[in-house]
Amino acid sequence: MRATIERHPGTAVGCYIVGGGYSGKTEELDSTVQQAAEMLAAEFNRPIEIRFNSDRRSGGGWLKNGLPGFSGNCQLGLCAGLYKVRPEGLTNEEWWAFPRADYSALPDEMKIDVVADDTCLRDQADANNDGGNGRRYACHYFDTPNEGMAWIRERVDYANLHA
């Protein structure tokens, strides 16, 4: 197997296309996700799939693993997304109640995240999210793709990644 990078056009689920963003909403987001995919390809020398959510505000490079359905190609991802900047001084409760009409006017900031299925983690304590059906996964945020890649090198058990 050799490292290749492909952009995924999305998956048809009923009348919807899941993950059909194909490219990032901004050039900066798109190039950051491309950089993340290149880092994964260089580290693992395996095929990488770039996927963006349908709103194109987040996406990532994902290690291809050949598993069918929604289990496929989602074991490990180095991702980036545009997130609204919370106005200073708002509590969590106020933030969740923030009027949607005002929300769209807020500026965006980019965040980097690593998403890793619990099956490939060295320490299960890193799996900080419930994925349903008894599965857990890690989702940790970083300032740069290099920091995310460092986390992968430290926390992911390469031997447990599906081929």
For residue 73, is pLDDT > 90?
no
Q: Which residues contact 37 (CB under 8 A, 6 or more apart)?
A: 5, 48, 50, 60, 61, 78
At residue 68, φ and ψ (nearest 5 deg) are -75, 160
Give per-residue pLDDT as tens, 101-142.
788 889 999 999 999 988 899 999 999 988 877 888 999 999
Residue 58: its H or E element:
strand 58-63
DSSP state of 53: -
Give per-residue pLDDT as tens, 19-69.
777 899 999 999 999 999 999 999 999 999 999 988 899 999 999 887 765
Q: Give counts: helices (H), strands (E), the chain.
A: 4, 9
CB atoms within 10 A of CB 133: 5
Give the model's pLDDT for residue 95: 87
What whole-number distance in Å separates Cα of residue 145 and Cα of residue 16? Answer: 30
